[in-house]
Structure 1
């Protein structure tokens, strides 16, 4: 009995002691009995343990402690104060203790331990580019409180970044050390050991009987096993990509008619530190076929027309991907496009599938047409320099008209082709309002620098060689006297002003100027173009061809007695036409050139003046989507330039030798025909890899074979820049051959000395891929196949007698300098009489395309 009493006393003592100890979690101090709370007046609070930059009074207020108020000790007021201070995230440790009690007044001590702050983060084991990529995802600013959550998040972001790259054995450690230069600041050292990259050794498929494993593996876009077939593709194992590819695998089954296909099980087994095997077991299920396809709810278009667009017949293999494309995803012929382009913005189509029998599917397509939507507002945002009317006049959407998605996309294309906005950042946004049956269309644009400066210079043969050119593509002639509009010239009206000066010392000098107004009068898209130019060129002296003769002055190289000057001007009018469709433009031009020759040995005649009064007509259809990096569309041009047939009515006998050369070519005559076609087609889903195919033909004809024009012919081969544009001929590039080496290369007889070709043919095939499409620079790489030839006489034309070449190149478009590029081409065919003209050739591109 005594033992039981003693045992009960011991148990009671320990229970009372532990309960007293547990009640002392919040307050510490003497003379406080936690088993009997008392009410005191808070007489003062002393804040300790913090740096000087914290105001004690502010911290007391944050804690919710009010001097003079009554608090119960122990009680919930100190507990709430600790929680409130913790919630600010500024402190790592907070305690409240009783300092002293005087009568019914209590004095507390608030002790705070500040969290350490971040000084900087050092990444160990990373490249600079990798470090920058991680900083794009997480980059805590100096002074940020260092918490366990921040460190854990930092490790998670780094691990996720490397797992996306295939490094599943990544090891990330975050080490914390004090900053010796700053109190209470720490430096975080993030140490990364990427170890081995995990790659896929094999993908083992089981359960597939009707669909080959190779077909299913190709459907997995980013999960590839290591093999010779996938030599150029990544075989890294990335979990997120694998999860997406499992859906791609099932989509492939759906395309083959296996509607119920499913993945029974899958597993990823690591077979070595660097390799995994993926096991996928599938159940193919039954193959299905379409039975009856019916339409419900359609009132605007009859079921027969909708079925023709859908293009799926009874008995066709079930293909969910193709069905969705024809219903809503195909931008050219989808049912959705038919409705939305006619104002039915709220159109919805919901297919309901029903299994019939063993392997047939009935589809009921429930149509909700809704009301036709009209356009409420058309808003253009981001045009800081280009005036509102310049952008708005290119749009095909107008307030009050029926909404059309096709018109929205066409407007986007026209804004891109203006050249004043970054084509990659033009984003149309449609905001429908079902209640009012209207929609706002917003075009967000980003201005880009489009003016160009051409500067080149050097010193050679004792003379200055150089050129300077300025092209202002957003000029405003009406503000030329408005000094506030100069930035540095008046701009914003979309006009083009071009000025250029070029010199090779005394040998060659030219100056040109042109102006273009795209909307003459401002109401219709009728363009006005005006240009004028002048050039002066001397011939070569005999010393130029004597390589053993050394001279100290260019005067010894060039013969001032041989002289050719050219003066010309032109006026052209262009207009858009809507037939056969509204992608066509028509351009007419009148131009005049005067050639003055003195002892000039490089043409059919050497002395005299020639006048060229010509008329030009061009019909062009262009539907390209982007002038800098074209992904799709086409550009066709048919042009005719002609003079009057003076030899038909001037009464001169050009067949005999009674006329001097000066009289024979006083007024030159010809008719010149040109055709070019360009087609662009994307080769991948992202529309980055692009195929370009082009063809060109040119023919210079005559009215009288005894009065052939010595000008306006073609020189072929090389980079297409072998001479000067005002030299009286046209230069046609063909990479892989020397400049001008293919001129008359197809002729069977020796053409007159220095005679240009009268006919040429050129074919081009290119595959392009962008390196960057940023606003600051458009850069893309290309590989090409090219073929072409030129002839002196039309009767010699052989369409398959072509000089072939292939090569690679790169194009760089810089807003201030235009298009620059370099190509390496290899010509496969020898050129008669021109040893070394083919083979390996380097070509440069300045402001033009081949």
Structure 2
């Protein structure tokens, strides 16, 4: 009725305004403006000074001003030769309030209203109120709330303004009470509906919302229903009808789908027609059905997609492969033909980057495997996307193609990225009964100044430890991806007051190294490093575990100098840096203290892990690590520790003898246990443990089966680590239906297995410790937060005092 009234008003205005004879406009005067500028009116007014005004032109002018939606009334009058434009401005929206909404956020509702022109500061159109009600009701219908009511209240304010208050009464969600599929005899309802998003209430409905009706969800489920049958041979399956019935109270929904199963069909023959481009034998390898197979629409579509992908890899970016099945209803067979239309072969003209406000274009461009001026390749584009994701600089990466206007053989690529924090500023304050107050901080930036270089500085201070580390790495010293890095470390630790938590000795270490990295393939990289370092070790008679005292005494050096070198290889096929879902990583590193070092030794570290998506958002992760070290060459101990008189006056032969081959240095030993290792156990507490001091006969004190050390300085044996370590982890990442971005948070169930051993010969499967639990990785507002709840289910004698159920770390990002 309002629209009709407006049209009648427009007609009446037009009739009254144009009763005068046409005239030449000498000037234009506008009346009635308060908020809108005269320039805006002149911009929409098609009449200028000097024009001859006719009835038709006046009507067009009125329509143009009405169409701006700025005015509720427009009149044209004549004052001599002056055209007078009288307008009544529509009010502006001073305030827009939405209340009563709990299920949908206010910002989300306002976004929908903005799309239809209702937002603060805009001109108010009363006709838009109806559209507002319909839009809000539509959003709630999509949430399954069918008894929602939307009541708008408009209050007039001074200065031609209005305040709009929208009251929402959401009501209760309509629950799906019944889903009926009529006509299905080949399969059970449970088999068919297992992948449906719509269903009746179950114990998971509180977060899956499967029992809330949605037209979009139902449409998707009906497509799944059709696919279920057509992937299992029912080529002439049909969906006869679907009905949705709502109860009078609008609280219960009943869904019925009538299906016509049809018959089971088999493949009789397959054909490839059209412009094949490649030899037919090559394309035949991509045909996933053969004569006699059960008809499967999924396999037929996969064939089309595979042929298109192959053609896209050699430049045919817009290839079309249409499958046409021909049914023989008498024989129940299907003859399938794929018609191939490759279209023009195209090449990439330009690669454009968007969204990288901090990261330089060159950092992205050097990761691209699709080059400008070369033939289009979908494989190269997909690989480029993965390489950009592996940088860890971006939350999302998308690559779109656009046809160059006026050309059918050129495309431009637009690489859109959403940057995320690539650096962290972490502060830690803690307290332990063993180490006292612990202060730590670190600054790291994997995208230093937007160049892609990595930089880090960390410091830690506690009652027993002072440590500073600084590192820098440029991954693209050359255009070919040769990288160079530097690392410097200083640490000073005194474990003598930590009781049975650590071996009681002190050390001071200084080191510097440089690393050179060389790419071998897109997935493989080798690197080598050279360094220099020194470690000064102090042991304490009666407090330090006896084998450690004997080692230093026999070596004859408290300060150990080392020239170090290492060589490593990395094979990385992960699809993401922060939260991979498939692919894996293989690493192998051999490091050594070179000839001329105080102790010559070598160390091997190896790791293999992989991610497998196993459907419905679940991801399986398996990881294995091994580390082993030993000495080499013909180094001998210089001194003997057997000629001193132990406590009690005994003269037992203990320790290492002069001339004996030097053993693997204990300060390089591997330790197991902790939040990043075998969860559920305290850091570094698994593996060999030794008592301090000697007995009255001068022999080392032996720990009892429970780890207790009789007549020792410390009640319990001290962890000393070992030269061999093995770890294994199996983790199942769980889908979080309420969280679509896995880069924000991930929850997993884990099983950890591991142990450190004195040497390779002492390894026993029965000696492995194991734990299981649940872990949360969350990019919280305060920074990355990792919380693990671990339950050891396999332990060794003496482990009970080192259990730690809850473990967490956190920091803040910038």
1:611 partnered with 2:561: yes
Q: CA deviation at 1:157?
A: 1.7
CA deviations 1:8-38 (Å, max 9, x no partner) are: xxxxxxxxxxxxxx99955999xx9x9xx88
Q: 1:630 aligns with which of 580, 583, 586?
A: 580
Instruction: Report the equivalent of 2:508.
Output: 565
Q: CA deviation at 1:338?
A: 2.5
Q: Decide whether aligned partners of structure 1 residues 24 and 590 sit closer, same or farther in structure 2, where only a CA change above 3 A counts.
A: closer
Matches of 1:70 and 1:380, distance apart in 2: 53
Instruction: Report the equivalent of 1:663.
Output: none
Q: CA deviation at 1:468?
A: 3.9
Instruction: Report the equivalent of 1:502.
Output: 460
Matches of 2:441 and 2:225, distance apart in 1: 59
Matches of 1:764 and 1:364, distance apart in 2: 48
Matches of 2:81 and 2:487, distance apart in 1: 95
**Is the Cα contact below 8 Å between 2:29 and 2:84 reproduced in 1?**
yes
SS at match of 2:295: coil
SS at match of 2:720: coil
Q: Decide whether aligned partners of structure 1 residues 292 and 446 sit closer, same or farther in structure 2, where only a CA change above 3 A counts.
A: same
Q: CA deviation at 1:159?
A: 0.7
Q: Decide whether aligned partners of structure 1 residues 47 and 125 sit closer, same or farther in structure 2, where only a CA change above 3 A counts.
A: farther
Decide which structure has the larger Cα Rg and report it.
1
Matches of 1:392 and 1:222, distance apart in 2: 41
Instruction: Report the equivalent of 1:302.
Output: 279
In the TM superposition, 1:194-233 aligns within 5 A as: 194-219=170-195, 221-227=196-202, 233=208
**Is the Cα contact below 8 Å between 1:412 and 1:428 reproduced in 2?**
no
Matches of 2:767 and 2:421, distance apart in 1: 44
**Is the Cα contact below 8 Å between 2:785 and 2:808 reproduced in 1?**
no
Higher relative contact order (CA 8 A, sep 6+): 2
SS at match of 1:176: strand
Structure 2 stretches lacking a partner, 5+ long: 1-8, 633-659, 691-702, 710-716
Instruction: Report the equivalent of 1:759.
Output: 724
TM-score, length of structure 2 as denominator length: 0.78
Q: CA deviation at 1:93?
A: 4.7
In the TM superposition, 1:77-156 aligns within 5 A as: 83=63, 86-93=66-73, 113-127=88-102, 130-139=105-114, 140-156=118-134
SS at match of 2:670: strand
Instruction: Report the equivalent of 1:729.
Output: none
Instruction: Report the equivalent of 1:694.
Output: 623
**Is the Cα contact below 8 Å between 2:721 and 2:756 reproduced in 1?**
no
Matches of 2:50 and 2:515, distance apart in 1: 92
Q: Decide whether aligned partners of structure 1 residues 136 and 305 sit closer, same or farther in structure 2, where only a CA change above 3 A counts.
A: same
Matches of 1:745 and 1:298, distance apart in 2: 73
Instruction: Report the equivalent of 2:165.
Output: 189
Matches of 1:386 and 1:830, distance apart in 2: 48
SS at match of 1:424: strand
Instruction: Report the equivalent of 1:577.
Output: 520
Q: CA deviation at 1:177?
A: 2.3
Q: Decide whether aligned partners of structure 1 residues 169 and 502 sit closer, same or farther in structure 2, where only a CA change above 3 A counts.
A: same
Matches of 1:767 and 1:691, distance apart in 2: 5
Q: Decide whether aligned partners of structure 1 residues 368 and 108 sit closer, same or farther in structure 2, where only a CA change above 3 A counts.
A: closer
SS at match of 1:155: helix
More divergent stretch after superposition (632-641 vs 833-842): 833-842
Q: CA deviation at 1:162?
A: 1.0
Instruction: Report the equivalent of 1:594.
Output: 534
Q: 1:512 aligns with which of 469, 489, 495?
A: 469
Aligned-residue CA RMSD in angstroms?
4.5
Instruction: Report the equivalent of 1:680.
Output: 611
Q: Decide whether aligned partners of structure 1 residues 446 and 177 sit closer, same or farther in structure 2, where only a CA change above 3 A counts.
A: closer
In the TM superposition, 1:797-808 aligns within 5 A as: 797-799=763-765, 801-808=767-774
Matches of 2:413 and 2:137, distance apart in 1: 42
SS at match of 2:507: strand
Matches of 1:208 and 1:54, distance apart in 2: 65
**Is the Cα contact below 8 Å between 2:62 and 2:74 reproduced in 1?**
yes
Q: Decide whether aligned partners of structure 1 residues 340 and 806 sit closer, same or farther in structure 2, where only a CA change above 3 A counts.
A: same
SS at match of 1:305: helix
Q: CA deviation at 1:362?
A: 0.8
1:394 partnered with 2:380: no
**Is the Cα contact below 8 Å between 1:340 and 1:347 reproduced in 2?**
yes
1:792 partnered with 2:736: no
Q: Decide whether aligned partners of structure 1 residues 564 and 257 sit closer, same or farther in structure 2, where only a CA change above 3 A counts.
A: same
SS at match of 2:131: helix
Q: CA deviation at 1:748?
A: 11
The count of residues paired between Structure 1 and Structure 2 equals 736
Instruction: Report the equivalent of 1:537.
Output: 493
Q: CA deviation at 1:693?
A: 1.8
Matches of 2:747 and 2:72, distance apart in 1: 56
CA deviations 1:619-652 (Å, max 9, x no partner) are: 2210112111212211111222234689xxxxxx
Instruction: Report the equivalent of 1:317.
Output: 294
SS at match of 1:716: coil
Q: Decide whether aligned partners of structure 1 residues 518 and 171 sit closer, same or farther in structure 2, where only a CA change above 3 A counts.
A: same
Instruction: Report the equivalent of 2:712.
Output: none
CA deviations 1:149-183 (Å, max 9, x no partner) are: 3111211221111111110111111122223xx24
**Is the Cα contact below 8 Å between 2:71 and 2:87 reproduced in 1?**
yes
**Is the Cα contact below 8 Å between 1:174 and 1:191 reproduced in 2?**
yes
**Is the Cα contact below 8 Å between 1:761 and 1:788 reproduced in 2?**
yes
CA deviations 1:209-243 (Å, max 9, x no partner) are: 22332233234x32212356978642111123223
Structure 1 stretches lacking a partner, 5+ long: 1-21, 100-104, 329-333, 476-490, 547-558, 647-665, 721-732
More divergent stretch after superposition (766-775 vs 784-793): 766-775
Instruction: Report the equivalent of 2:787.
Output: 822
Instruction: Report the equivalent of 1:471.
Output: 444
Q: Decide whether aligned partners of structure 1 residues 185 and 538 sit closer, same or farther in structure 2, where only a CA change above 3 A counts.
A: same
Matches of 1:249 and 1:672, distance apart in 2: 57
Instruction: Report the equivalent of 2:224.
Output: 248
SS at match of 1:148: coil
1:342 partnered with 2:314: yes
Q: Decide whether aligned partners of structure 1 residues 86 and 243 sit closer, same or farther in structure 2, where only a CA change above 3 A counts.
A: same
Q: CA deviation at 1:81?
A: 6.9
**Is the Cα contact below 8 Å between 1:809 and 1:822 reproduced in 2?**
yes
CA deviations 1:108-163 (Å, max 9, x no partner) are: 99876543332222223123962121012224333433323311121122111111
